[in-house]
């Protein structure tokens, strides 16, 4: 079964390259029902780009042929504390992608940038404003 990703009129299969998907982020429509739910839990407004990433991956998406990059579903983002034992909400971090080896691409709401976060070390590093630098 192939999950379809739709960007207005553009459609790709499940194993699309993450870099290609992010390059087309401008064409992704924000799902207002999920953005409201996540913003209520984090008690802050999210940047449009972050909401587009969350909308893109709302059901969870496996990218690339190696299945190393996984876009976290809304359910995985909301249940991150129960599943990963990290309180991302209190850290002001939004986990967006599981990139393997206990590392996640997150959005830091306080610093307003993307970062890598190692859950085994409880450490945030490699901060930057360009999401594409991580893929």
pLDDT tens-digit series, residues 37-57: 999 999 999 999 999 999 999
Mean of per-residue pLDDT scores for the chain: 82
Instruction: Specify the pTM.
Output: 0.81
The whole-angstrom separation of Cα 114 and Cα 108 is 6
Identify the pLDDT of residue 9: 31
Contact predicate 35/54, CB 8 Å: yes
The domain at 5-128 falls in which architecture? 3-Layer(aba) Sandwich (3.40)
The whole-angstrom separation of Cα 120 and Cα 7 is 34
């Amino acid at each position: 079964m192939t999950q379809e990703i739709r960007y207005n009129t553009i459609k790709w299969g499940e194993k699309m390259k993450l870099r290609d998907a992010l390059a087309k982020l401008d064409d992704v429509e924000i799902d207002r029902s999920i953005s409201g739910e996540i913003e209520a839990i984090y008690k802050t407004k999210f940047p449009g780009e972050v909401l587009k990433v969350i909308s893109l991956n709302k059901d969870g998406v496996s990218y690339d042929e190696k299945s190393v990059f996984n876009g976290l579903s809304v359910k995985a983002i909301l249940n991150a504390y129960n599943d990963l034992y990290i309180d991302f909400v209190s850290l002001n971090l939004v986990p967006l992608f599981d990139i393997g080896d206990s590392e996640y691409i997150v959005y830091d709401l306080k610093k307003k940038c993307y970062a890598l976060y190692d859950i085994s070390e409880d450490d945030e590093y490699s901060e930057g404003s360009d999401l594409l630098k991580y893929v």
